């Protein structure tokens, strides 16, 4: 175990986690999946959504927060019993370092070997939440992967929320036989939504008029964006998702998937990062 600074407390349980409390924010990070489960800037309501039905058990994904999808996104192309969204969200990561920064932020680095890749995940907790996943190919041959920071956001009512920043972008509609479509204007939610946007590198903004806030989700090293809400029927089919919880969440995922999977030469690395910040809406 790395030495922990004053702002980080280890919480022992079947799934160990780190509780972070500094002058900017509070956060919770499970070593299982390097899973950021909570982020609450000082004076602000919780930003990340977590299901009351989530399991917190070895071998099971956590439903909410920020699962890391890697090295494939969604179902594995060869199917079989491979878990959806890859194996690293089910794996115990280790703490490489934990530090208080001079500006009062806290920085954790967690690591995992997922041959032929080595992963380093840097979580910086301040007024903003910065997540950076570095993937290095430590093998002897080129190797490719898909990835996503599958971020669940808390909203007061998804039917009244919208997402700006995707207008005009092409997407694969997974609720309509993977038809290719173009986003018209701001994205609003009126039914199950499962969209894989391709060639999208700019920030998205969640506008939540009920909570009176905008959540800006900026990213680097990502060419795909996924937006997801299961709505009524799919929520009811998921055992770890409460039947009535779907209005209170939406996912925006900074990803590299499908046509934008990443191929690394031996020794090469790739960095995917996402920054989450909250702005109050003028009343």
Binding site for ligand BG6 (CB under 6 A): 61, 74, 84-85, 150, 174, 194, 226, 228, 253
Nearer to ligand BG6, 129 or 227 (CB): 227
- Evaluate whether 155 touches 139 at the Cβ level (below 8 Å): no
**Pick from 268, 163, 243, 260: nearest CA to 205:** 163
Smallest gap, in angstroms, from Cβ of residue 228 to ligand BG6?
4
Torsion over CA of 188, 191, 192 and 193, rounded to 10 degrees? Answer: -20
- The residue with its CB nearest to ligand BG6 is 84
Smallest gap, in angstroms, from Cβ of residue 85 to ligand BG6?
5
Cα 212 to chain centroid distance, Å, stands at 23
- Evaluate whether 52 touches 36 at the Cβ level (below 8 Å): no
Nearer to ligand BG6, 117 or 246 (CB): 246
Nearer to ligand BG6, 156 or 238 (CB): 238
The C-alpha atoms of residue 54 and residue 57 are separated, in whole angstroms, by 9
Smallest gap, in angstroms, from Cβ of residue 84 to ligand BG6?
4
Task: Assign 15 to helix, strand or coil.
Answer: coil
The C-alpha atoms of residue 5 and residue 110 are separated, in whole angstroms, by 15
Nearer to ligand BG6, 136 or 174 (CB): 174
Tell me phi and psi for residue 126, to 5 degrees.
-145, -150
Smallest gap, in angstroms, from Cβ of residue 180 to ligand BG6?
15
Q: Give the residues across from 225 on adjacent strands.
A: 197, 254
Smallest gap, in angstroms, from Cβ of residue 275 to ligand BG6?
20
Nearer to ligand BG6, 249 or 264 (CB): 249
Nearer to ligand BG6, 73 or 93 (CB): 73
The C-alpha atoms of residue 112 and residue 34 are separated, in whole angstroms, by 9
Q: Tokens representing 60?
A: 């099971």
Smallest gap, in angstroms, from Cβ of residue 42 to ligand BG6?
30
């Amino acid at each position: 175990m790395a030495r922990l600074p004053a702002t980080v407390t280890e919480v022992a349980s079947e799934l160990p986690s780190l509780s972070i409390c500094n002058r900017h924010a509070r956060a919770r990070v499970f070593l299982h999946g390097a899973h950021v489960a909570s982020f609450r800037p000082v004076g602000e309501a919780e930003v990340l959504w977590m299901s009351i039905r989530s399991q917190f058990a070895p071998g099971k994904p956590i439903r909410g927060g920020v699962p890391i999808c890697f090295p494939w996104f969604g179902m594995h192309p060869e199917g079989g019993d491979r878990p959806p969204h890859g194996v690293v969200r089910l794996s115990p990561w280790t703490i490489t370092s934990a530090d208080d920064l001079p500006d009062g932020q806290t920085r954790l680095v967690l690591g995992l070997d997922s041959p032929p890749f080595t992963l380093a995940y840097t979580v910086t907790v301040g007024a903003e939440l910065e997540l950076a996943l570095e993937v290095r190919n430590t093998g002897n041959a080129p190797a490719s992967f898909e990835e996503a920071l599958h971020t669940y956001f808390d909203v007061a009512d998804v039917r009244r929320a919208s997402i700006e920043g995707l207008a005009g972008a092409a997407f694969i509609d997974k609720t309509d036989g993977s038809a290719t479509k173009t986003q018209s204007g701001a994205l609003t939610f009126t039914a199950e939504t499962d969209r894989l946007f391709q060639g999208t590198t700019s920030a998205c903004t969640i506008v939540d008029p009920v909570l009176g806030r905008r959540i800006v989700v900026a990213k680097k090293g990502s060419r795909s964006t996924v937006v997801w809400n299961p709505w009524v029927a799919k929520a009811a089919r998921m055992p770890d998702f409460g039947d009535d919880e779907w209005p209170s969440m939406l996912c925006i995922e900074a990803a590299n998937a499908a046509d934008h999977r990443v191929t690394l030469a031996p020794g090469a690395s790739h960095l995917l990062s996402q920054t989450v910040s909250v702005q109050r809406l003028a009343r």
